[in-house]
Amino acid sequence: MIPAAILSAVDDAPNGATEWNNKCITRAHGWDLKEEVSRMNQSLADAYSPMRVRPYPNSDAWDGENRWEARVENSASGITFLAQEPSRGIDTLKIYTESVMRRKGRATAEAETLMRFQRAPEYVVWQLPQDLPLAVFVCCDGFYSAKALPTEEAIARCITDPEGYVRAKPAAVLQGTKMEFLDEDKVLGRAGSNLMETAKDFLMQKLTNQPSWQEAIIASHSAITALRAQHLGRVPPLLEDAQAAVAMATNVPVLLASDDNVSLELMLCV
């Protein structure tokens, strides 16, 4: 990740208090952040609402992901939790309101209040260096899910050179991921340079009762196999073949127990 000077930064969320960084990484806002919970509760208090939110571990996520959901207290209309994490500020408020309405069957003033104080986007402008090849990318949370790629640096390495990333020592690739947690017998740790093949077989055995997941795993493995066949066994890095590198990078997380669908947008500046 490239350090860069911040030219402009604005946090449009009600009572927003973003800590800016100079690494050209847009920050995720989750209910694990005390300032995010305080922001929402202060906004509710300012509106004279008795409702408050309290963070709880997300019941649908792996414990190691440290993902949280917000439960709603003191709701007269029976609203029990917020449907979305606060970082999803690019969605329209209508999505949030409809999500609550589906659960309650009708719109309420309380639902409107909660949705009004959902996080708005933050905006940061960095001065990028002019003497280096750069890649600006936006990826979905499929890269993060189950900590398939556990850090921003890992995501960047995978996108810029996915083949080099998965051919590193398996212990290094899997460190901190859900796959490492699942691999009690250290089967994956002995995969060597065949991590994608071994990971596919490993997950197919683990997910015998989940056919949709198995289909995604087979599809991603087939896509990587086809890309390798097109490039004499090794997919080139981003600066040599951007299309091939991005195509492989979007399939790697699926074979590391992430989501069953992953998306990525990238702009390459050379």
Mind listing the pLDDT tens digit for each residue in 34-50?
Answer: 988 999 999 999 999 99
**Percentage of the residues of the chain whose pLDDT score is greater than 70:** 90
- Express each pLDDT in 96-120 by its tens digit: 566 665 555 555 788 888 888 888 8
3-state secondary structure the chain: CCCCEEEEEEECCCCCCCCCCCCCCCCCCCCCCHHHHHHHHHHHHHCCCCCEEEEEECCCCCHHHCCEEEEEECCCCCCCECCCCCCCCCCCHHHHHHHHHHHHCCCCHHHHHHHHCCCCCEEEEEECCCCCCEEEEEECHHHCHHHCCCCHHHHHHHHHCHHHHHCCCHHHHHCCCHHHHHCCCCCHHHCCCCHHHHHHHHHHHHCCCCHHHHHHHHHHHHHHHHHHHHCCCCCCCCCCCHHHHHHHHCCCHHHHCCCCCCCEEEEEEC
Question: What integer pLDDT is reported at residue 44 of this predicted model?
Answer: 95
- Express each pLDDT in 167-209 by its tens digit: 999 999 999 999 999 998 888 988 787 899 999 999 999 998 8
Question: What integer pLDDT is reported at residue 91 of this predicted model?
Answer: 57
List the chain domain ranges.
5-116, 134-269
